[in-house]
Each structure stands twice: as structure tokens, then as C-alpha cells.
Structure 1
């Protein structure tokens, strides 16, 4: 894996916003920024056949303009551009595998569009084995999305806490010089009937204590490694998707883990990741883990 932050752009404003965010991240990491444009060569596909030369020139112009814009804001940042022809999900996944981080644009509400529309975005997420950040489009064009606004919010799955997601969140907070807000919501199993009301309060206390202990144990190595990073813990009875989305308001970055699934099971990303991608204004880092 190279020390590269890769941003996929497709000519949409979402893609350019993602490139802006990726440039700030690459500058903080002191690594190369690679801008990638993927176009489809439809020749021989039965239907409209685009002229490859026209596609290449258009891609080159777009990449050049984006790179020049970013060099103004980050004069010391190393930037390279690359255009590729092929299936977007395949090419983007391959670029992500060769990079420290892949950054793509996201529309939010209603899904991701551009060259990662619909099933393509899910295919990229399902194939990724390295972190992927999705950046929402900005209604306010005056305020560039930077990776150092607000705290890092981490959605923690207990008791199977992802060390990869923890490592990503704390390293990000260290770079951004901000805190980490760790969020975990739990609920009681739906197995208690009307006659069990006297048992529920005791079980709630026991479950709360157990989850608090699990969170403390999961965070211990990272609070020791990053003693200067402030940590806020939010461990409560509630609904994971709703609570994490609410906790993400004002965040600089939201980090969620994505458990690897057998390819035969499809590209299901889970309700928590799905909700955060569609209802959170902050950039979302999806960190795959086993």
C-alpha cells in the first residue's frame, strides 16, 4: 500500500468537494494526493459509442482544473492525476486497495450519485478492505470542507469492538487536534413479558454496567497511546442508528466499522452504516474489519 490519499472525481460538485477534503487530509498526512477520473469506453457495447479521444481530453481538462484549484489552497501538496477506462466499481476499488484512503463524493439523502450511483457505491463499499471516506456536498460554497472541524465521532460496536475503526478514529483526532466522541447504544433482548417487570430494572443496570466496562476495555489501549486526545463516552440504552446520527451533528468526521461479509451474501452494508451515510452532514469514514 502506497502513502497516497486517492479522490475519485467525475465532474460533479460532490466529486470536487471530495477532492477538497482529500487534499486537506493528504496535507495533514504529508502524503501524495491522487485524483482519479473513471470513464466508460462504450465502443462495441451496442448503443451509443463515445469517442475515446474526446473522453480522454475531457477527463484531462477536468483533472487539470481540479489539480490547479487544489494547488492554490495547498501549494506544498504533491498532486498527481490519473484517468482510467473501465467499470467504475472495479477501478475505484483497485485504487482504494493501493491507497491509505479512498475519498468519494456523496449526495446524502437518497444515495450516492455520480460514477458511484446506486449499486456501484454499494459494490465499492462491499469490496473495500481499506478505509473509504464519503464526503457530502456543501450547500455553502464559501466554506471548504476541512478534516479538522468538530470532534471525531466513533460508532462503537460492543462487545465486538473494531480495533481498525478505533485506530482510525484516534489517529484522525490526533491529526486534527480534536477529541473523540465514542457512541454505543444497547437494548434489552425482547424476551421479557408483562410478568417480568420486576426483572427489567435489574437487567438494565447489569447490561449498562457490562457495556460500560466493555467500552472502557476497548478504549484503554488507545487512550494510553493518545493520552492528549480528549475522549467523551456516550454509552446508553437506545437505538444505534438514531443515536449515532444525532451524535454526529457538528462532527468533523464520523467513523463506523464495516464487518467483512462473504461475497455470496451480497453488498449489504448494515442499517447503521446505511443511516449514517444518508443522514449525516459530516464526512463519513467506513473502516472495513474482519
Structure 2
């Protein structure tokens, strides 16, 4: 079966932004866009007042509303991207299992997420967290009102690096100890398709003989040199696989989360990995990914890996 770019819709502005992002990605990959809605009504997480039931809409009305929502979204996307192949699917079932099932035939799953008000970033609801934690396909979270990735980069980025004209950078958060080939390949492929620069951020811990961020007298910067060398060695085969991608590797002192959030303000997409853990309990979303999801200024791709 040919895979699709699948976007989950719930009628919110955030999910429509996700559909727009997914449509552009489908065009970049020459794939069909699939818009899905899980129409089975999910009761609120709060308990109603004693003696007050929560009315459940009839299933035929739920299904009809889902179909209306999907057709409106298809018309909206098709008007913006003529020629794009678009399928719609109203799926019976609760949102989490329905979206997980839909993701099985997808190259990636795209979901909307609410922003954190004046703080740029995402507010993850229970559905998003559950899907993100259990999905074994890449998941991209998009918020309404975020910066457009087609916007040209400034002549000089905030980090002082020359920016690639025409497209904002793709940013990869790379862990040298648990890199995950799927994560690296996703980021290089995204940059190649966009003709964008790939900015690679690796955060590392300062050895105990550093003081105040500076080397103590008499010691050289051998640890930093070693980290940069390891980073270059890891990226060498990827440079050969994607010779068209300009890369900007950065080994930064401290946790990667803050550096990735900073980089997101100049990015079209930030890519991070998530270890696949099949235990029944726990969200399985690491602290770096959590920080990035709550404060990123750009869409975030979370790529599962072993």
C-alpha cells in the first residue's frame, strides 16, 4: 500500500494548520494527503455535577458532522494546492486508537496543538500526548499562527551564522550516545526536499574540572575537541548520502532543550527522536522533547527509533 501524509482533524484552527502543513509536505514528497477524523464522541475528562448526565450525540449525527468537517477541510486545502491528491476518512472509534491505527499506513502523522498564549509553543492535550507517546511513525505537531516555513531566513541568524536564503533551516537535535539513524535520515531528507540548510545541535555536559563554564588554569579544551570530532565522524556517512545538504553542526555546552528552543525561532522544522518503549505505563516522552514541544516556535517532528 502506498503510504500517505495523514493529518488528524477535529475542527479546531490548530488542526486546520496541521492540514495545511501536511498538504505542503505531501506535495514535497509527491504523496497523497489523507485527512482523518475520529468521529466517536469522547466524554469530557471532568465529572459532571451529581445527577447531571452528559448527553451523547447520536452516532449518525457524529458521523455526519465528521464528514462535513472533512469535506470542508478538503475543499479548503484543494483550493490552495490544486492537483494535490486528497483522501478523507471519517473513522469510527475514539481519537487515540483511531489516530494510531491511521498512522500505520502513513509516512508521518500531523496533528495540531494549541499554543501557550504569550509563550510561543505547544500545549499538549491528553490525545496528543497519548498518540505521540505510542505512535511508531513520525509525528509532526503544528500550532495555529506559527511562522510559515516558506518565509525567507534573515541575512544573518541570531546565532551569527549566515542563513540559507529562501527557506528557514531544518534543525536536528542529535544525541551522540543514542542517535537513531531514522531520526538523522528524517532530518537530512527534510532539509534536502526543502533545499534548506540543516542545523545540527548536540548538547554535552561540561566535565567536572570546568569552573564557571571556563577551563581551569593549566587544562586544555580536549573534551570539547573530542566532542566536535565525534560529531564530525558521526555525520560523515550522512554527508555522503546527502551531498546536496549544507550542514551546520554545533556542539553546545548544556542541555539540548534550551538550545533547540532558541534555534526553533529561525527554523522551518525541528526534528528530535523518541526511543520506542512498549511498556503499558508512562508517556515515554523525554525531557528534551517535552521542553521543545512546550516552547518551540516552529513545527516539531518527533521520530521514534529503537
- TM-score normalised by length of structure 2: 0.83
Correspondence for 2:66: 59
Task: Tell whether 2:273 aligns with 1:257.
Answer: yes
Structure 2: unaligned runs, 5 residues or longer: 44-52, 152-165
The partner residue of 2:193 within 170, 175, 180 is 175
Q: CA deviation at 1:193?
A: 9.8
Q: Is the 8 A contact 2:150 2:168 kept in 1?
A: no
Paired residue secondary structure (2:145)? coil
User: In the alignment, is residue 21 of structure 1 matched against residue 15 of structure 2?
Assistant: no
Measured after TM superposition, the shift of residue 275 of structure 1 is 1.0
Superposed CA offset, 1:13-68 (max 9, x none): 0000000000000011111100001122469xx74221112112211111111101
Q: List aligned pairs for 1:174-213, cutoff 5 A.
A: 174-188=192-206, 198=216, 201-202=219-220, 205-213=221-229
TM-score by length of 1: 0.87
1:85 aligns with 2:92: yes
CA shift, 1:163, in A, is: 0.9
Partner of 1:129: 136
Partners of 2:210 and 2:216 within 8 A in 1: no
SS of residue in 2 equivalent to 1:253: strand
Deviation at 1:239, TM superposition (A): 2.4
1:154 aligns with 2:172: yes
SS, match of residue 116 in structure 2? coil
Please, which of 91, 99, 102 is the counterpart of residue 106 of structure 2? 99
Any unmatched runs of 5+ in structure 1? none
Q: Does residue 222 of structure 1 match 2:238?
A: yes
CA separation of 1:200/1:264 partners in 2, compared to 1, >3 Å: closer, same or farther?
farther
Q: Are the counterparts in 2 of residues 84 and 91 from structure 1 also a CA contact under 8 Å?
A: yes
What's the C-alpha RMSD, in Å, of the aligned pairs?
2.6
Compared CA separation, residues 267 and 2, structure 1 to 2 (3 A): farther
Per-residue deviation, residues 93-136 of structure 1 (Å, max 9, x unmatched): 111121101000011338866xxx63322211121111110011
- C-alpha distance after superposition, 1:216-235 (max 9, x if no partner): 12211111111111101111
Gap change, CA 1:144 and 1:179, over 3 Å in 2: closer
* Post-superposition offset of 1:201: 4.3
C-alpha deviation, 1:238, in angstroms: 2.2
Name the CA distance, whole Å, in 1 between partners of 2:279 and 2:229.
34
The structure 1 segments of at least 4 consecutive aligned residues displaced by more than 3 Å after TM superposition are 110-113, 143-149, 189-194, 197-202
3-state SS, counterpart of residue 101 of structure 1: strand
